Amino acid sequence: MTINALAAGATDAEDANPAAAAAISAGRSPHQGGEEALKLSHAYLELREPSKDGSLDKAGPPIGRIKFQFNPKELTLGKAASWSRHTAKGNKKAGPPQYNGPMPSKLSLEMFFDASAKQDDDVLKRVEKLFSCCTPTPASLKLNKGSPPWVLFRWGKLTGALSYIASVQVKYTLFTAAGLPVRATCTVALEEIAGDPPKQNPTSGGLVPRRVHVLVEGDTLAGIAYNEYGNASLWRAVAAANRIDDPMRLRPGTSVLLPAAAELPSVALQVGATEGREVLRGAR
């Protein structure tokens, strides 16, 4: 079909589909895919270091990839909401539903590995790398904040949510005469990490901690703040959150609550306001 013939049908195409109109104006058929659609993209899992400051929307630097040997045939993505019902004996109907908030999105996929042509241990190595995503990274262990790597699923222009690997199930389906697995299907479940920081406990008024650190000999609040949040100056907020009056007199064996980094400024303000009210009350 010539460009003139395409232009003759431009009005109908523009009314039906703006994308088709753009294709016609560029001299292409509205049904013709661009070169980008024909390029082969390989899917992979990008591994990241966990966040150092406790934030859930920004991961650390990349630490590796797990490539798909064959692109997945399908992806299963799920999203759910949490609801609850309160009922009582004698009621003829169930109580009204109460919305408790959104649940994290989940992605389930299969990774197929085959080394039947080479008869080597490539499948075992790939499976072990997947299993390692369920164990803490060496860098996080050095910071006393053991956490498995965070994961991003990428496939061309498709990028999944920042997630962690919740489970890995492997089914070996082919072995060599010596018993070496050379073919496997891995079912991988990813769960979204992002979420709102913990809120205050409505019953006690206390803060829900992200982590608890037990003091050892030589610990300082500045060192703890640097290891937990990457910022030693946050020691004052940590002290305020734990009602520590003298940061130079820390007793080994005492537990220190370490809230999310986003909560620390509000904690300091809340404690400061409380102390201010107490001072005013004492002056009266």
Q: Which CATH number do you get for residue 259? A: 3.10.350.10
Q: Do residue 242 and residue 272 come from a single domain?
A: yes
Please indicate, yes or no, whether residues 164 and 231 belong to a single structural domain of this protein.
no
Same domain, 55 and 153: yes
Residue that finishes a domain, picked among 136, 165, 192: 192
Task: Please tell me the total count of domains within the chain.
Answer: 2
- Report if residue 129 sits inside a domain: yes
Task: Please indicate, yes or no, whether residues 68 and 178 belong to a single structural domain of this protein.
Answer: yes
**Domain enclosing residue 177, as ranges:** 44-80+100-192
Q: Are residues 187 and 276 located together in one domain of the fold?
A: no
Cβ contact 17:24 at 8 Å: no
Pair (122, 252) in one structural domain: no
Per-residue confidence of the chain (284 residues) as pLDDT tens digits? 333 333 334 344 344 455 445 544 445 544 555 566 667 889 999 999 988 766 777 788 999 999 999 999 999 999 999 888 877 777 778 778 888 888 899 999 999 999 999 999 999 999 999 999 999 999 988 887 888 999 999 998 888 889 999 999 999 999 999 999 999 999 999 999 876 544 444 444 444 446 778 888 888 988 888 887 778 888 888 888 888 888 888 888 888 888 776 666 655 444 444 443 443 344 44
Residues near 19 by beta carbon (within 8 Å), at least 6 away in sequence: 30
Q: What is the 3-state secondary structure (H, E, C) of the chain?
A: CCHHHHHHCHHHHHHHCHHHHHHHHCCCCCCCCCHHHHCCCCCEEEEECCCCCCCCCCCCCEEEEEECCCCCCCCEEECCEEEEECCCCCCCCCCCEEEEEECCCEEEEEEEEECCCCCCCHHHHHHHHHHHHHCCCHHHHHCCCCCCCEEEEEECCEECCCEEEEEEEEEEEEECCCCCEEEEEEEEEEEECCCCCCCECCCCCCECCCEEEECCCCCCHHHHHHHHHCCHHHHHHHHHHCCCCCCCCCCCCCEEEECCHHHHHHHHHHHHHHHHHHHHHHHC
Residue 89 within any structural domain of the chain: no
Is residue 8 in a domain?
no
Q: Do 215 and 176 fall within a single domain?
A: no
Cα 184 to Cα 110: distance, rounded to the nearest angstrom:
10
